[in-house]
C-alpha cells in the first residue's frame, strides 16, 4: 500500500519574492508551508510532504516490505458481505480494498476461509487447498490477490499446521485402520491397561486431549476440539504434504502465512503427565501447567527452518507471522531462529495481555523486545479474533476514544510491525452475548458463564449507521456492536477528529517519516509513571512521541541532549487533540488527558539552515521565471549581497545531531 500525500508544490511564481529575503530568512519548503498553514491538518500534510521527499532519498529501500507495512487482520465472516447472506465473504473483502488502501495498510492477514465443518469457525479445515463455498471460490481469491496487488496490498493466509478437521480425507483414512498408508499421520496412542486415556493432558477448549476412536480402538490426540485431531509432525510425509499446501498458496500469489498456534506443533514423545495446579478452570477441569504439550520443543525449530527455506525460494520476501504466545521472553525470541532463519514476525502478545495503562509495563515490554538478543524485528498487537477488543480492555468508559487514539500512536510509532485487528481503527467495542442461547462460539457454550466465548470481538464491521451497521440487509450472523451509530466508517470518514482519521494520519506518517521508518528506539524520561515518551532517530532525523496515559492533563519536560539531539522546540507531526499546539517547547509540553503527540524536534530558527557552497543563480533566463526544475534538483536557495553583488547559495537543513 503506498498512499502518499501529494507533495506540496511550493515553487510557484511567488517564490522570487521569498528568495529575496535575508540569508537567515531564506525559505525552505517547510518554512513556506509553515507560513501557509491555517490549522493542524495543513501542518500534518505539509510535514508529510516534506518527509516524503526525504524518503525518496532513502538508501534502505531494499529492506523487506514486512518491516514497514502495517498488517491488518480480517476475520472474513465479519468483514464485508458482498452477497447479503449475513456473513462476510472474499468478494466482500475485494470490494473494500479501496477503503483499506485509503486507510494505509499494506497487508491483509485473512483468518481461515477454507472448507470446514466450522466447529471452530474455520480453524477445523477439511481441505487446505480450497476456499469454503460460503466464502467464495478460488477464482474469488485470485481476483482478491490481483486487485490487492494493484493497490500494493499483500495477502497473508492463515496456515493451520497443527491439526486438520476430523472430516479431512487424511484423517478419515488415518482412522480407518491401524495399517492404512496414513495410519501414522495423526497422533495415535493405545489406551492404558485399564482402558484409560494415555496421560492427563487437557485440551485447550476443555476436558481430556484424548479421544477414543471406536474403529481403531485407539486414542487420538487433539490440543483443541476433538474434531481437530493433531497432525503427527514427526512423520516426514506430513511435513511434505503440509509444505505442499504452503507452496499451493504461495504459487497463487500469497505473500506469506500467519502460523496458527505454532507452539502446539510438537508434543513430548514420552507423553509425560503435566503438573497439576490448585483449583479448576472455566471448564471444571483441574488447572494444569501444559509444559509437555504446549511447549517449544527443539523439534519446532527444525520444522520452522525448513518452512522458511520453502518461503525463501519465492520472490518479494514472503513472511511468516507467528501466533507465538510464549510466556517467557526468551521463548518468544527463540522463534526468530538463532540466525533469524525461522519466523520473521513472531507476534509479541505482551501488549495484548496488558490491560492497564501502566507506563512502566509498556516501557519494559518495549525495551525487552526492541533489544532482543537476536535483533529480531518486533511485532506488536493489541487485539485479535481471540482477544477482547482493546477499546474495552483499556477503556475507562468515559475516554475510550482518546485512549484508543493514544494506543494507536504508541504501536504505530514503535520500531516494529504493528498488526491491527479489523474495526480497531473506528473504535469497535466488544459486544458479548448476554444469554447462552445467543452464543455462537463453542467455547462460550462449554464454558458459560465464566467463559462467554469470542463472539464479542468478532462482530460485523461497522460500515455505516444504517441497519446492521451497513454490513448486510438480512440478520447478520452476530449482532452488530452497540456503538455502530457513532463509530462507523462512513461517519468517521467525515470527522477530522475521528479515531479513523487519526489512524490514517499515523499510517501515512510512519511511511513517510524517515526517523519513524528506520530510526532506533530511544526511551526518554525513564522514571515518569504517567507519560510514556520516546524518540526515534536516524541519521540526523528524529521523531518524538509523548503519550499521556492518565486522565489528568500533564506537562512534561523532554531533554533530548542525552541522546545527542540539541533541539529545544518541536513541531507537531500528528496530535490526537486540537489542544496540542504547534511550536512546542520541549521543556514544557502540555498534554490533555490521554493526549498523544508525535512531533519533530527542531533547532532554533537561526540555527536551522546552513549554507552550502556558492551556487548558481536559480533564475532561469530562458524561461524568464524562477525555475522549479532547478530548485527541485538543488533545493532551496538563499541570497545575500556581497560587495553589492547578489550571491546565491543552496541551503540545506542542519542535522539535529
Integer Cα distance of 643 and 657 in angstroms = 34
Task: Decide whether 264 or 383 has the Cβ nearer to Ca ion.
Answer: 264
Nearest approach in angstroms of CB 521 to Ca ion is: 36
Nearest approach in angstroms of CB 232 to Ca ion is: 8
Integer Cα distance of 78 and 484 in angstroms = 14
- Told to judge if 368 belongs to the known catalytic residues of this protein, a careful annotator would answer no
Nearest approach in angstroms of CB 121 to Ca ion is: 20
Element (H, E) at 157: strand 154-159
User: Cis (ω within 30 of 0) for the bond into 449?
Assistant: yes
Catalytic residue among 267, 323, 387, 492: 323
Which burial class, exposed, middle or buried, applies to 281 when counting CB atoms under 10 A from its CB (0-12, 13-18, 19+)? middle
Q: Which residue is nearest to Ca ion (CB)?
A: 230
Nearest approach in angstroms of CB 106 to Ca ion is: 32
122-124-125 Cα angle (round to 5): 85
Integer Cα distance of 362 and 351 in angstroms = 8
Nearest approach in angstroms of CB 260 to Ca ion is: 11
Order of strands across the sheet with 154-159? 345-346, 319-322, 256-259, 154-159, 107-110, 71-74, 417-421, 379-381
* C-beta separation of 26 from 651 below 8 A: yes
Nearest approach in angstroms of CB 183 to Ca ion is: 17
Judged by phi (left if over 0) then psi (alpha if -120 to 50, else beta), residue 564 lies in: left
Handedness of CA 206, 210, 213, 217 (dihedral sign): negative
* C-beta separation of 540 from 656 below 8 A: yes
Nearest approach in angstroms of CB 110 to Ca ion is: 23
DSSP-derived 3-state class of residue 264: helix
| Radius of gyration, alpha carbons of the chain | 28
Nearest approach in angstroms of CB 356 to Ca ion is: 33
Task: Decide whether 264 or 468 has the Cβ nearer to Ca ion.
Answer: 264
Catalytic residue among 120, 260, 342, 541: 260
Order of strands across the sheet with 637-642? 609-611, 645-653, 637-642
535, β-bridge pairs: 522, 544
Task: Decide whether 303 or 413 has the Cβ nearer to Ca ion.
Answer: 303
Task: Decide whether 58 or 306 has the Cβ nearer to Ca ion.
Answer: 306
- Told to judge if 260 belongs to the known catalytic residues of this protein, a careful annotator would answer yes
Task: Decide whether 229 or 453 has the Cβ nearer to Ca ion.
Answer: 229
Integer Cα distance of 506 and 572 in angstroms = 12
Residues that bind Ca ion (CB under 5 A): 162, 230, 264
Task: Decide whether 179 or 270 has the Cβ nearer to Ca ion.
Answer: 270
Nearest approach in angstroms of CB 239 to Ca ion is: 13
Residue 351, C-alpha cell as written in the block: 501488549
537-562-571 Cα angle (round to 5): 50
Task: Decide whether 160 or 250 has the Cβ nearer to Ca ion.
Answer: 160
Residue 219, C-alpha cell as written in the block: 486414542
Residue 79, C-alpha cell as written in the block: 468483514
For the CA atoms of 212, 218, 224, 227, the dihedral, rounded to the nearest 10 degrees, stands at: -60
Integer Cα distance of 484 and 492 in angstroms = 11
Beta strands (DSSP E) in 295-339 are 319-322
Task: Decide whether 135 or 225 has the Cβ nearer to Ca ion.
Answer: 225
**3-state SS track over 517-563:** HHCEEEEECCCCCCEEEEEEEECCEEEEEEEECCCCCEEECCCCHHH
Which residues touch 583 (CB under 8 Å, ≥6 apart)? Answer: 569, 571
Integer Cα distance of 17 and 414 in angstroms = 41
Nearest approach in angstroms of CB 243 to Ca ion is: 16
Residue whose C-alpha is closest to residue 502's, from 592, 412, 380: 412
Nearest approach in angstroms of CB 493 to Ca ion is: 44
Task: Decide whether 81 or 267 has the Cβ nearer to Ca ion.
Answer: 267
Task: Decide whether 265 or 506 has the Cβ nearer to Ca ion.
Answer: 265
Residue whose C-alpha is closest to residue 49's, from 539, 457, 527, 573: 573
Q: What are phi and psi of 504, to 5 degrees?
A: -60, -45
Task: Decide whether 300 or 426 has the Cβ nearer to Ca ion.
Answer: 300
Task: Decide whether 158 or 230 has the Cβ nearer to Ca ion.
Answer: 230
Nearest approach in angstroms of CB 519 to Ca ion is: 40
**Residues identified as active-site:** 260, 323
Amino acid at each position: 500500500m503506498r498512499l502518499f500525500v501529494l507533495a506540496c508544490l511550493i515553487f510557484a511564481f511567488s517564490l522570487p519574492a521569498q528568495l529575496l529575503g535575508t540569508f537567515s530568512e531564506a525559505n525552505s519548503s517547510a518554512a513556506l508551508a509553515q507560513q501557509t498553514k491555517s490549522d493542524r491538518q495543513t501542518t500534518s500534510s505539509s510535514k508529510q510532504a516534506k518527509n516524503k521527499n526525504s524518503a525518496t532519498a532513502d538508501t534502505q529501500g531494499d529492506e523487506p516490505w514486512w518491516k514497514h507495512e502495517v498488517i491488518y487482520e480480517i476475520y472474513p465472516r465479519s468483514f464485508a458481505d458482498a452477497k447479503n447472506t449475513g456473513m462476510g465473504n472474499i468478494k466482500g473483502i475485494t470490494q473494500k480494498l479501496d477503503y483499506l488502501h485509503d486507510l494505509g495498510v499494506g497487508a491483509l492477514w485473512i483468518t481461515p476461509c477454507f472448507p470446514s465443518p466450522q466447529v471452530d469457525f474455520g480453524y477445523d479445515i477439511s481441505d487446505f487447498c480450497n476456499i469454503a463455498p460460503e466464502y467464495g471460490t478460488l477464482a474469488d481469491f485470485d481476483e482478491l490477490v490481483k486487485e490487492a496487488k494493484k493497490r500494493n496490498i499483500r495477502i497473508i493466509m492463515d496456515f493451520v499446521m497443527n491439526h486438520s478437521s476430523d472430516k479431512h480425507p487424511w484423517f478419515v483414512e488415518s482412522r480407518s485402520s491401524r495399517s492404512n498408508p496414513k495410519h501414522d499421520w495423526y497422533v495415535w496412542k493405545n489406551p492404558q491397561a485399564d482402558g484409560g486415556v494415555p496421560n492427563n493432558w487437557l485440551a485447550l477448549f476443555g476436558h481430556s486431549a484424548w479421544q477414543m476412536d471406536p474403529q481403531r480402538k485407539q486414542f487420538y490426540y487433539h490440543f483443541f476440539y476433538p474434531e481437530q485431531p493433531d497432525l503427527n509432525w514427526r512423520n516426514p510425509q506430513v511435513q511434505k504434504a503440509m509444505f505442499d499446501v504452503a507452496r499451493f498458496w504461495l504459487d497463487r500469489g500469497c505473500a506469506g502465512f500467519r502460523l496458527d498456534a505454532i507452539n502446539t506443533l510438537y508434543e513430548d514423545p514420552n507423553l509425560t503427565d503435566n503438573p497439576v495446579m490448585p483449583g479448576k478452570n472455566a471448564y471444571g477441569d483441574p488447572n494444569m501447567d501444559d509444559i509437555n504439550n504446549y511447549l517449544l520443543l527443539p523439534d519446532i525449530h527444525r520444522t520452522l527452518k525448513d518452512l522458511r527455506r520453502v518461503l525463501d525460494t519465492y520472490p518479494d520476501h514472503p513472511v511468516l507471522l507467528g501466533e507465538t504466545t510464549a510466556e517467557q521472553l526468551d521463548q518468544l525470541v527463540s522463534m526468530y531462529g538463532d540466525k533469524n532463519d525461522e519466523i520473521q514476525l513472531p507476534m509479541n502478545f505482551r501488549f495484548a495481555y496488558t490491560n492497564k495503562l501502566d507506563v512502566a509495563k509498556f516501557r519494559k515490554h518495549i525495551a525487552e523486545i526492541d533489544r532482543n538478543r537476536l535483533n529480531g524485528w518486533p511485532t506488536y498487537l493489541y487485539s485479535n479474533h481471540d482477544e477482547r477488543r482493546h477499546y474495552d480492555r483499556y477503556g475507562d468508559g468515559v475516554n475510550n476514544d482518546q485512549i484508543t487514539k493514544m494506543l494507536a500512536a504508541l504501536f504505530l510509532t514503535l520500531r516494529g510491525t504493528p498488526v491491527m485487528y479489523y474495526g480497531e481503527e473506528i473504535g469497535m467495542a466488544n459486544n458479548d452475548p448476554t444469554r447462552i442461547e445467543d452464543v455462537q462460539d463453542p467455547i462460550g457454550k462449554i464454558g458459560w458463564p465464566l467463559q462467554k466465548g469470542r463472539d464479542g470481538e468478532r462482530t460485523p464491521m461497522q460500515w455505516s449507521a444504517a441497519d446492521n451497521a451497513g454490513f448486510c440487509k438480512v440478520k447478520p450472523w452476530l449482532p452488530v456492536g452497540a456503538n455502530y451509530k457513532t463509530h462507523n466508517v462512513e461517519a468517521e470518514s467525515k470527522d477530522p477528529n475521528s479515531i479513523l482519521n487519526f489512524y490514517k494520519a499515523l499510517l501515512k506518517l510512519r511511511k513517510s517519516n524517515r526517523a519513524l521508518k528506520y530510526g532506533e528506539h530511544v526511551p526518554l524520561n525513564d522514571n515518569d509513571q504517567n507519560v510514556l515518551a520516546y524518540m526515534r532517530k536516524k541519521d540526523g532525523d528524529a521523531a518524538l512521541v509523548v503519550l499521556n496515559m492518565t486522565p489528568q492533563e500533564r506537562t512534561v519536560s523532554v531533554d533530548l541532549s542525552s541522546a545527542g539531539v540539541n533541539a529545544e522546540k518541536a513541531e507537531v507531526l500528528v496530535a490526537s487533540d486540537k489542544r496540542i499546539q504547534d511550536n512546542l517547547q520541549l521543556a514544557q509540553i502540555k498534554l490533555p488527558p490521554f493526549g498523544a503527540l508525535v512531533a519533530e524536534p527542531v533547532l532554533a530558527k537561526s540555527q536551522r539552515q546552513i549554507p552550502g557552497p556558492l551556487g548558481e543563480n536559480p533564475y532561469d533566463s530562458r524561461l524568464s521565471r524562477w525555475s522549479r526544475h532547478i530548485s527541485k534538483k538543488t533545493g532551496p536557495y538563499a541570497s545575500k549581497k556581497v560587495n553589492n553583488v547578489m550571491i546565491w547559495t543552496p541551503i540545506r537543513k542542519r542535522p539535529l545531531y
